[in-house]
Amino acid sequence: MKICVYAISKNEEKFVDRWMDSVKEADYVYVLDTGSTDNTVEKLKKRGAIVKVKEFNPFRFDKARNESLSMVPLDTDICVCIDLDEVIEKGWRKKLEEIWEKDTTRLRYNYNWSFDEYNNPKVNFYIEKIHIRNNYKWTHPVHEVLTYEGEKEVFLTTDEITVNHYPDKNKSRSSYLPLLELSVKEDPNDDRNMHYLGREYMYYGKYNESIDTLIRHLNMKSATWKDERCASMRFIARCYTNLKRYDEANMWLDKAIKEAPYLRDPYVEKALLGYILNDWNIVEKNCIDALKIEKSTKSYINEPFSYDHTIYDLLSLNYYHKENYKLALENVNKALEISLDDERMKKNKKIFEELLEKGI
C-alpha cells in the first residue's frame, strides 16, 4: 500500500519534530503552509516533508484542506489527515495495513482530544480522517468535514489506532465564530453547523443568540441525532443558568434527559444546577442516575465532567449537607482517586474525617 500523510500548517515550528516523528511511517508527508512567519516551513522541509506555501484571504479551513489534499498523488491508496498539534501513536501503519479491506473508503479511529493533569484522556471519541485518495473533499469554512462523492462509502471502526491532541493553548480561535456564521449562511440546512454556531455563541457569552440558534437547530428536520439534540438542550439550559433564569434551565435539562436518557451528561448538568440552587435532593438523585450509566458513547458530545471526579465530589458535598459524614468521606475519597491533587477536596476530606472522629 502507498500511504501518505497530509496536513495544513501555520506557525507550528514547536510541533514539527514531534509531529514528523509520529508520521514517519508514511511513504510521503505533504504539508500546505498557509502563511507561517516562523520556521515551520524550513523545519518541515529539513525533516523530509514536501511543503507548499499558499495563503488564503479570507481564510477557510475547507479550501486549505482541499489544497493540501490536492498535493497527494492520485495513485495513493490511503490518506491520513493529521494536524501538527496531533500525534499518531507508533506502529499505526502496520495496524492500518492489517485493518484495511479492499472496499474500505474511510476509517474511524480512537481520538484523545484532551488530557487531564495526569495525562489521562479527558475527552475521547472516534474521528474519521483516514480515507482513500479519490472521491473525497472537505466542506464548510470551519469544523470542516470530509464529504464523499462516490457511489458507496464504506466505513471501518478500530480502537487499534490512536491519535492524541496536544493543542497550542495560546492560539486564538477568534476566527471560529465568523466562519461558523458564514458556514450557516452558506448552508442554512446543515444541522451540524447550526448546533456548532449555537455552541460558539454560548462560549462567547452571547446567551440569547445561543438560545435562539440552538432552538433553530432543534427545529430542523435533519436534526435527528439524539446525542447532539441533547447537547443543544443542555447548552440552552446552560445559557439560562448564566442568565439566572433557573426555571427555564431546569425545564430544558428535563428535556435533555428525556431526549437521551442513556447519556450521563444531562444528569450531571442537572446535578450541577442543583448545586447552584442549593437543592441537594436534585444533586443526589441526578448523580446516582448518572452513575447507573457505566459506558461513554465515545462521541465528541460527551462532557469531561461526566466521567471525571465531578459526580463523586457533588455526592460528597450532598452527604455533608445532609450530615451523613460517612458517605461524604466515601465519595470524596472516590473523587480523590481520580483527581489526586485537588486541594479543595483534600480540605473537605479532612473536615469529614474530623467530624467522624468527633462522633458527630
* Out of 40-54, 107-121, 322-336, least confident range: 107-121
CB atoms within 10 A of CB 203: 12
DSSP conformation class of 324: -
CA distance to 90, 108, 162, 168, 301, per residue, from 127 (Å):
18, 5, 10, 20, 12
Report the relative pairing of strands 86-88 and 155-165 from DSSP bridges.
antiparallel
Name which of 84, 87, 73, 98 is nearest 2 in CA terms: 73
- Structural contact between residues 82 and 88, judged by C-beta atoms closer than 8 angstroms: yes
Give the pLDDT mean for 234-260.
98
- Structural contact between residues 66 and 137, judged by C-beta atoms closer than 8 angstroms: yes
Superfamily name with CATH number, domain 176-273: Tetratricopeptide repeat domain (1.25.40.10)
| CA dist., res. 281 & res. 227, Å (int) | 26
Report the relative pairing of strands 78-81 and 3-9 from DSSP bridges.
parallel
> What is the pLDDT confidence band of residue 118, given thresholds at 50, 70 and 90?
confident
Give the pLDDT mean for 225-232.
97
- Structural contact between residues 236 and 228, judged by C-beta atoms closer than 8 angstroms: no
Report the relative pairing of strands 121-131 and 78-81 from DSSP bridges.
antiparallel
Residues paired with 162 in a beta bridge: 110
> 3-state SS of the chain: helix, strand, coil percent to 5?
50, 20, 35
pLDDT at 360: 67
> What is the pLDDT confidence band of residue 298, given thresholds at 50, 70 and 90?
confident
**Domain edges within the chain:** 3-165, 176-273
* Model confidence at 317: pLDDT above 70: yes
Q: Return mean pLDDT, the chain.
A: 96
Domains 3-165 and 176-273 equal at CATH topology level:
no
- Structural contact between residues 108 and 40, judged by C-beta atoms closer than 8 angstroms: no
CATH number of 3-165: 3.90.550.10
* Out of 165-169, 209-213, 215-219, 330-334, least confident range: 165-169
> What is the pLDDT confidence band of residue 120, given thresholds at 50, 70 and 90?
confident
Backbone angles phi, psi at 262, to 5 degrees: -90, -5
- Structural contact between residues 7 and 26, judged by C-beta atoms closer than 8 angstroms: no
* Model confidence at 111: pLDDT above 70: yes
> pLDDT tens across 152-183, in order?
999 999 999 999 999 988 887 788 999 999 99
| CA dist., res. 203 & res. 236, Å (int) | 12
Sequence-distant (≥ 6) Cβ neighbours of residue 317 within 8 angstroms: 275, 280, 283, 328, 348
Pinpoint the alpha helices (H) of 2-80: 16-23, 40-46, 61-70
> What is the pLDDT confidence band of residue 322, given thresholds at 50, 70 and 90?
very high
> What is the pLDDT confidence band of residue 271, given thresholds at 50, 70 and 90?
very high
Give the pLDDT mean for 317-337.
97
Q: H/E element holding 185?
A: helix 176-186
Report the relative pairing of strands 106-115 and 3-9 from DSSP bridges.
unpaired
